[in-house]
Amino acid sequence: MKKLFFYLLVFWVVALSLLPFLWFVDTSLKTEVEVTSIPPVLLPSGSLEFYISSIREYNLLHYLGNSLVVAGLTTVITITLSLLAGYTIARLRLPGKQYIMNALLLVSMFPQISIAGPVWRILQNLGWLNTYQGLVLPYVTLTLPLGVWVVAGFFRELPPELEDAAKVDGCSHIQSLFRIMLPLAAPGVFTAAILVFIYAWNEFFFALLIMTRQDYQTLPVGIALFQGQYTLPWGEIAAASTVATVPLVLLVFLFQRRIISGLSAGAVKG
């Protein structure tokens, strides 16, 4: 009986979590008449008119390309820095490295609104407002603590005898990192990369603050600024939201085992 209750509870939690997404997918496949009909039409006709309209009239592909550039650059830079920092903290004798990890954790807890003013001023002085690097820089700053924690935690799980053997063979620390440790730590690195990419893909606040020109706006901001002549274009918003969400859902679904193994392996030891 307890097990049945547990499964029912899990089912309802999952159903309630998926309901908004499924409703947007359902709406995106309707026609204009079906969207505005009363009572609501539950089963869509399968029309793609909202997808076509969001591409032709609302530059959906342009926003999608900007998000891919920003999220991709953020992921590459963050994971590269996380590898170097995580390996240094986890495997080398570094004075005060626990304080460094605590400082990273503390920085990651700052609310975005509290650092928005200084970040905007720095980017303005650099001339980086409405540029890709102007958005990538704060994203790297915000995601680096997560990347370092995940990667460092996974490096701690690897036996030190592997490094000792690599040193005997004449490997430096950098060679040991990329030839020996990195292939073994691939699940943790992959986990960090997915989490960083998802954050950069979904982030809205800094994207809205820094990207005021349509040429550089990312997908969340572009969708939020969809405007109709008299009403909000709910069909186009639903179609664009589906395009923005489905890749992430598939990514997590396909690699969920790697994500879970990477997070759990990095959390075993402090």
pTM: 0.86
State yes or no: pLDDT of 179 exceeds 50.
Answer: yes
Q: Which residues have a Cβ under 8 Å from the Cβ of 94 and sit 6 or more positions away?
A: 88, 100
HSE, side-chain direction, 13 A CA sphere, residue 35: 23
| Residue whose C-alpha is closest to residue 178's, from 161, 194, 155 | 155
Sign of the dihedral defined by the CA atoms of residues 40, 43, 47, 49, in that order: positive
What class has domain 65-235+249-266?
A: mainly alpha
Please name the residue ranges forming H helices in 127-160: 132-157
Q: Are 238 and 27 in contact (CB under 8 A)?
A: yes
**Reported confidence tier of residue 269, pLDDT bands at 50, 70, 90:** very low
Q: Are 196 and 108 in contact (CB under 8 A)?
A: no
Once rounded to an integer, what is the mean pLDDT over residues 21-32?
Answer: 87
pLDDT tens, residue by residue, 188-216: 888 889 989 999 999 999 999 999 898 99
Q: Which tokens is 19 given?
A: 């309901």
Domain boundaries, the chain: 65-235+249-266
Report cis status (omega within 30 of 0) of the bond before 39.
yes
Q: Residue 151 — very low, low, confident or very high, per pLDDT cuts 50/70/90?
A: confident
What is the mean pLDDT of the segment spanning 102-131? 88
Q: Give residue 155's identity as a one-letter amino acid code.
A: F
